[in-house]
Amino acid sequence: MRAVLSIGSNMDDKWALLRSVSEEFAGQIVAESPVYATPPWGVEDQDDFLNAVLIVDVDESPLELLRRGQRLEQQAHRVRVRHWGPRTLDVDVVALFDDAGNPIDCDTEELTVPHPHAHARAFVLVPWLAADPGATLAGESVEGIVDKLPPAEVAAVRVVEP
């Protein structure tokens, strides 16, 4: 199964926290976006985030993959105090595809894939497009979805170097 993971951090050593996810999936990464600095989404009174997208090939079930991401968040001492608030590490399963490239949907209490907010988030879509220019989400090209977002929101997602 191929998975699109959106990773982000706006606390502590953000670079090291993102690197920890890349290291966890090192042998399974198919593509990786650059790292982007992005303004907070949802709750704006917090520091900017660093965000990236990893595309990985895994043998786990969607729920096992979710739990793997949650374990990484726990190792980063993530505390869920405020919805969309500051976080040491966020690992979201954005999209899943079978070996033939067909989308896999998942709708459980724990996991909804495709991610229900991905289509509205430049901080997910811009890195995803960089990692996979031919990407699709719910049958639509990610490039086409990005083109429909407010230009200022897209422009605020900018590549950064460590």
Confirm whether 78 is a catalytic residue: yes
Confirm whether 90 is a catalytic residue: yes
Q: Which of 90, 98, 99, 158 is catalytic?
A: 90
Confirm whether 71 is a catalytic residue: no
Single-letter amino acid code for the residue at 39:
P
Q: Which of 47, 92, 105, 107 is catalytic?
A: 92
How far, in Å, CA of 82 to CA of 117, rounded? 17
What are the Cα distances from residue 12, in Å, to 23, 40, 49, 146?
A: 18, 16, 11, 30
What are the Cα distances from residue 60, in Å, to 1, 18, 28?
A: 8, 21, 12
Q: Which of 13, 48, 68, 78 is catalytic?
A: 78
Single-letter amino acid code for the residue at 93:
V
Confirm whether 82 is a catalytic residue: no
DSSP state of 132: -
How far, in Å, CA of 24 to CA of 101, rounded? 23
Which residues are known catalytic residues?
78, 87, 90, 92
